[in-house]
Amino acid sequence: MAASSYTLGKTLLRIENVSLEYDGRPILKNVNAEVKDIIVPGKVTGQVVGFLGPSGCGKTSLFRIIAGLDKPTSGRVTLNGDTRPVTAGEVGVVAQSYPLFEHRTILSNLLLAARQKEKDAKTAHEKVMAYLKEFEIADKFNLYPAQLSGGQRQRCAIIQQILCSDHFLLMDEPFSGLDLLMLEKTCELIAKVACMDELNTIIVVTHDVTAACSVADHIWLMGRDTDAEGNKIPGSRIVKEYNLIDRDLCWHPGILTKPAFMDFVREVKEDFRRL
């Protein structure tokens, strides 16, 4: 997909001058970023942002603010051009442990999520079964979470959050502990979820630079600035953004083996090491 064949539409998510302090200590400082609707003629293209940064730089704090779970000291996160700050429940959160109610079947777990949006029980049931079929686990609907593989639990957790949230998903370390085959399947799953709807937006928080670059259309790199002596200044922000579409590194089968992609991953890793 050539870079010239896309345009940017409305802003779907905006992080605006977000700062956070704990006991007077800056954690985040003037964080700014936005996700725009990527429009490709004749194609449904959701948005995937890879969110990278060293441990302890404040990724989790910003993650929780984007999810509406915590409030910043100043600034705001807004959705779809609204001026109202995001609230809990508007952005789905797929935690690393894929939490589901262990005493309920998969169908029961997902119906709980669906009924938050759909008041009609029949419509909710049809919606759940349609997603289970789409994600190729319809035959597991009557099983309990403990009877599923890790990959199947991940799919159920994603469906759960899609059902009760509006187009926005935050994924916490979805590649952690996966073998090569499962990592590839997870990347395919993220791309599939994003492109189910033009407005779907997924932010993937991870330490896996290669996996993030292989699935994302944009990368955010979080870190701290340095002073003239090279000392780290308290308070992190998004210090660099990468547009993979303009580099022609998006939406290509087999991109992992392309020399340009491998060069890009090395570039991001070098920037990461300097943080």
Per-residue pLDDT of 30-43, as tens digits, reads 999 999 999 999 99
In the prediction, which pLDDT does 179 show? Answer: 82
Give 227-250 pLDDT, tens digit per residue: 899 899 999 999 999 999 999 999
Distance CA 114, CA 121 (A): 9
Alpha helices in the chain (DSSP H): 59-66, 106-114, 121-134, 150-164, 180-194, 209-215, 259-273
In the three-class reduction of DSSP (H, G, I as helix; E, B as strand; rest coil), residue 224 is classed as strand
Question: How many Cβ atoms from other residues are within 10 Å of residue 192's Cβ?
Answer: 13
Asked if residue 1 has pLDDT above 60, the reply is: no
Asked if residue 2 has pLDDT above 60, the reply is: no
Give 61-72 pLDDT, tens digit per residue: 999 999 999 999
In the three-class reduction of DSSP (H, G, I as helix; E, B as strand; rest coil), residue 159 is classed as helix
Instruction: Please classify residue 253 by burial: count the beta carbons closer than 10 Å to its beta carbon, then call 0-12 exposed, 13-18 middle and 19+ buried.
Output: exposed
Higher-confidence residue of 96 and 223: namely 223
In the prediction, which pLDDT does 4 show? Answer: 55
pTM listed for this prediction: 0.92
CA torsion angle 160 10 252 244 (round to 10): -110
Give 201-222 pLDDT, tens digit per residue: 999 999 999 999 999 999 999 9
Average the pLDDT over 15-28 and give the result. Answer: 96
Distance CA 77, CA 72 (A): 9
Q: Domain residues of the chain, as ranges? A: 3-91+165-273, 101-164
Nearest to 8 by CA among 41, 35, 37, 33: 37
Give 94-129 pLDDT, tens digit per residue: 988 888 999 999 999 999 999 988 889 999 999 999
Q: Which amino acid is at 25?
A: R
CATH of domain 3-91+165-273: 3.40.50.300
CA 211 to chain centre: 13
Q: What is the mean pLDDT of the chain?
A: 93
Distances (CA, A) of 125 to 5, 106, 110, 155: 39, 12, 9, 17
In the prediction, which pLDDT does 38 show? Answer: 96
For 270, residues 6+ apart whose C-beta sits below 8 A from its C-beta are none
